[in-house]
Amino acid sequence: ALDCFSSSGGFALHLDGRCEQVEAVDASEATLGRAKQNAGLNQIENVQFRVGNVFDVLATHAAQKRRFQIIVLDPPAFAKSKSSINKAISGYKEINLKALRLLDSGGILVTCSCSHHISPADFSEMLAAAALDAGKTLRILEQRVQSQDHPVLLNVPETLYLKCTIAEVL
């Protein structure tokens, strides 16, 4: 598995029991230090931690023809304002396209956005475009939002900030 934007290792550490090997990537060495601590506290030994720019790491893995069974994309908010929506969607599409190219049939993509300026429809449209460009067919297994302790208010669209799609490459 490949966990991109790993932060403190939440996804990577949960993948431990399900995967032979997990690579956790984040640009922050300090953050990955906390992820390593968390792995140690939980006696997890099959996660490799790598400091790096996820866009570059995905490109390097593609050049090396690496393949993964599971890829998790959980970046920080790319759209911090309405004026950055188009650039953010471009960024989301780029990482999803690069990730999809590293997955074979049966591979699982877990892709997230915590940008409240990106609607669920925009996120799904971006993912469909990335899949089309990658020449992949995706089957949606689940679509999730933030937990119930972060309620969504119908009159306040910004409260629906977290989008998570779990898809299988067919």
pLDDT tens digits along 19-50? 999 999 999 999 999 999 999 999 999 999 99
Of 125, 111, 131, nearest to 70 (Cα)?
Answer: 111
* Length, in residues, of the chain: 170
Query: Over the stretch 76-92, which tens digit does the pLDDT of each residue have?
Result: 889 888 898 999 999 99
pTM of this prediction?
A: 0.93
User: Active site residue: 4, 19, 114, 164, which one?
Assistant: 114
Positive or negative, the CA dihedral 18, 21, 26, 28 is positive
d(CA 79, CA 92): 10
What does DSSP assign to residue 53?
Answer: -
Annotated catalytic residue 112: no
Can you give the pLDDT at residue 79? 86
Mark 55-87 as b/e (b = at least 16 C-beta within 10 Å). eebbeebeeeeeebbbbbbbbeebbeeeebbee
Of 6, 132, 127, nearest to 73 (Cα)?
Answer: 6
Question: How sure is the predictor about 65, in pLDDT bands with cuts at 50, 70 and 90?
Answer: very high
Compute how many other C-beta atoms are within 10 angstroms of the C-beta atom of residue 29: 10
